[in-house]
Amino acid sequence: MYQWNLPYRKDDVETGGGSRPLYPAMEESPELRWGFIRKVYSIIAFQLLATVAVAAVVVTVRPISLFFATTGVGLSLYILIIITPLIVMCPLYYYHQKHPVNYLLLGVFTLALAFAVGLTCAFTNGKVILESAILTTVVVLSLTFYTFWAAKRGHDFNFLGPFLFGALIVLIVFGFIQILFPLGRTSVMIYGCLASIIFCGYIVYDTDNLIKRHTYDEYIWAAISLYLDIINLFMSLLTIFRALQR
């Protein structure tokens, strides 16, 4: 059976010596941790499939995207769809352990985000979408395998948390500045590149947390974290390729 090869920390001699694990996952059975990891990735797979299906419908059925782009009601609904995932996060925080309410809220969260992604793709060249999707798939798989490989050898990526959070704040502020004072195609490309790097870091960070720190009742939060990392990476790459195309 596969065993995590994670480092231990020596206790201070004055406290009685001995050793204790650095991570909660080290105190549990590998079978239980692998079961938890499989459950999280199964949820993420269903989320991604639902996202692809909803986005494909929005892209192929042109009246849907035209309604949102050309009417006042459509614009209002678009704003509502964008903020829906943020609204759903609040009750999801309190009911993330209550079945089936947690899955229902997760479904609303996923469908709203998938619809927003579909509306973005509806006004994007198909070649750009395909390039972004392929590159996202390659990057996500590569970083995931690397993180598992590094965790097996005792590497820890928890130190990335504060740096990634600070970088995310800078990115958000940069995005607001870009909306209020557009700086041109170059700044859009810089924004997309920075966002791609940040969410690559988050994929490593959240995968490391999945392996070592999340408890069994946090499968919803673990799935949401990685799902958002993947979607945001895709949207960042889409931003870069769209800017290059223009």
Residue-wise pLDDT tens digits, 70-91: 888 888 888 888 899 889 988 8
Greater confidence (18 vs 174) lies with: 174
Q: Is the pLDDT of residue 12 over 60?
A: no
The count of other CB atoms within 10 Å of the CB of residue 13 is 8
Closest CA to 208 of 221, 219, 222: 222
Give, in degrees to the nearest 5, the angle at Cα 54 between 129 and 124. 25
Greater confidence (5 vs 127) lies with: 127
User: Contact, 102 vs 224, CB < 8 A?
Assistant: no
How much is the pLDDT for 24?
A: 54
Q: Tokens representing 222?
A: 């673990």
Least confident of 5-19, 51-65, 224-238: 5-19
The Cα–Cα gap between 31 and 102 comes to 25
Q: What is the pTM of this model?
A: 0.86
How much is the pLDDT for 51?
A: 95
Q: How much is the mean pLDDT over the chain?
A: 84
The count of other CB atoms within 10 Å of the CB of residue 217 is 11
Greater confidence (14 vs 188) lies with: 188
Burial class (CB in 10 A: 0-12, 13-18, 19+), 10: exposed
Give whole-number Cα distances, 188 to 132, 148, 150, in Å: 16, 33, 33
How much is the pLDDT for 26?
A: 55
Least confident of 14-28, 108-122, 170-184, 221-235: 14-28
Which three-class secondary structure state does DSSP give residue 21? strand
Query: pLDDT tens digits for 28-52?
Result: 667 788 889 999 999 999 999 999 9
Greater confidence (4 vs 48) lies with: 48
How much is the pLDDT for 19?
A: 44
Please name the helix (run of DSSP H) or strand (run of DSSP E) that holds residue 19, with its range, or none: strand 19-21
Average pLDDT over residues 174-197: 85
**Strongest mean pLDDT among 66-80, 93-107, 225-239:** 225-239
pLDDT > 90: what percent of the chain? Answer: 43
- Report the chain's terminal Cα–Cα distance, integer Å: 52
Least confident of 12-21, 164-173, 220-229: 12-21
Q: Is the pLDDT of residue 213 over 90?
A: no
How much is the pLDDT for 152?
A: 86
Q: Is the pLDDT of residue 134 over 90?
A: yes
Average pLDDT over residues 235-246: 87
